[in-house]
Amino acid sequence: MLSESTRRLATTHQAAQSSASLLEFFRYHGAWAPGIRLFRRIDFKTKALTISLVFAIPLFWLSWQYFGDKAAMIGFSAKERIGVTYARQVMPLMSALQRQRSLALDEAATHTTPPALATVQQEVADGLKRLGAEQHATGATLGTDKPYQDFLEAHRQVASASAGFDTVWATHTRQLDQLITLLAASTDGSNLTLDPDIDSYYLMDASMFRLPLLSDQLAQLGELGSVMLSHSAGTPAQVRRVTELLVLATGQLQAVRDGLDKVYAYNGESASQVNAEEAVRQISCSCSTPKPICCAHKGPKATRTRTMLRRFRPWTS
C-alpha cells in the first residue's frame, strides 16, 4: 500500500518537473526559443544556409507563380494569332465562293456559262487546298474538326446549273453558311472572343462575326435583286427572302456601328486607323435602297460589296 502511494507521488513529481522544464524552455524567448537555441549550437555557415533557404523558398514560389501567369498570357496570345491565321484562309475562300455562286446563278438563269466561271472555280479549288492545309496544321488546336467536315459536306452537295436557279442558290448559300460557321468556331477556339480590351474586342466582333454575315447578306441581295430585275418581278419566295435579308443586313450594320462607337470612345486614335465611316455609309445606303444594290451587283455582283468591306478585312482578295 505504501509502495503504491510512493509511486503515485513520484509520477506526480516527474510530471511537475517536466511541465516546469517546458515552461522554462520558452520563458525568455517565447515562440522563438527553438530557433535561438538551435542557432546557438550550429556554426556560421550552417546559419547562413538556413537563413538563405528561409528566404529562397517563398521567393521561388512567388517567381513560379509570376512566370507561370506570364507563360499563360503568352500562350493565350499565341492561340489568338493561330485564329487570325486561320481566318486569313477562310476570308479569301468566302469571297471566291460568293463570286462562284453569283456566276453559277447567272449560268442557271441564262443557260450560258460565264467566261469567268472557270477562273473563279480555280480560285475556289486553291482556297480549299490552303484551308485544308491550315485545318490539318491547327484544326485540333482550334477544335474545328466537326464544322470543317460539315463545310466539306455542304461543298460536295453544291448543285450544278442544270438543277435550276432555286436549287443552285440554296446549295451555294448553305455552303457559305457552313463556312461562316467554321469561321465562328475557329474564332471561339482561338480565344479571340475572350479579348479583354474593349476596342480590340469590338473590332474582332465586326471582322470575324458581323461583317462576314453582312457581306454574304448583301451578296445575296444583289443576286436575288438581279434576277428579280431581269424578270420584272420575283417569286413570292424571292420577295420574302429579299425582305428578310434587308432586315438582317440592317441589324448587322447597326451592330457594327454600335461596336465602332464603343471602339472610338475607348480609343480615340483608332478612328483614323480604322477609317470605316465611308464604308459604313455606303453599306447603309445600299441597305436603305435595295434597287441600286441589285443594279450595282450586275456582272460580278459582289464586287462593290467586297470593295467596301475590304477596309475592315484587309486580307480579303
pLDDT 10s digits, 12-23: 555 555 556 666
Tell me the C-alpha distance between 84 and 103, whole Å.
29
Q: What is the pLDDT of residue 13?
A: 53
What single-letter amino acid sits at 294?
C
Burial of 139 (0-12, 13-18, 19+ CB in 10 A): buried
Question: pLDDT tens digit string along 82-96?
Answer: 999 999 999 999 999
pLDDT tens per residue, range 98-115: 999 999 998 988 889 999
Query: Confidence band (pLDDT; 50, 70, 90) for 209?
Result: very high
For residues 98 and 119, give the distance between their C-alpha atoms in angstroms, rounded to a whole number. 13
What confidence tens digit (pLDDT) does each residue in 222-239 have? 888 887 777 656 778 888
Q: pLDDT exceeding 90 applies to what percent of the chain?
A: 40
- Give the model's pLDDT for residue 313: 38
pLDDT of residue 8: 59
Check: CB of residue 186 under 8 Å from CB of residue 144.
Answer: yes
Residue 144 makes CB contacts below 8 A (sequence gap 6+) with 86, 135, 182, 185, 186, 189
Matching residue, cell 444583289: 222
How does pLDDT run across 266-285, given as a tens digit for each residue?
Answer: 888 887 888 788 788 877 77
Locate cell 491550315: which residue?
134
- Side-chain-facing half-sphere of 213: CA atoms under 13 Å: 19
Residue 51: count of CB within 10 angstroms of its CB: 11
| Rounded CA separation 267/163 (Å) | 51
Indicate if the pLDDT at residue 306 is higher than 60: no
Three cell numbers, residue 14:
516527474
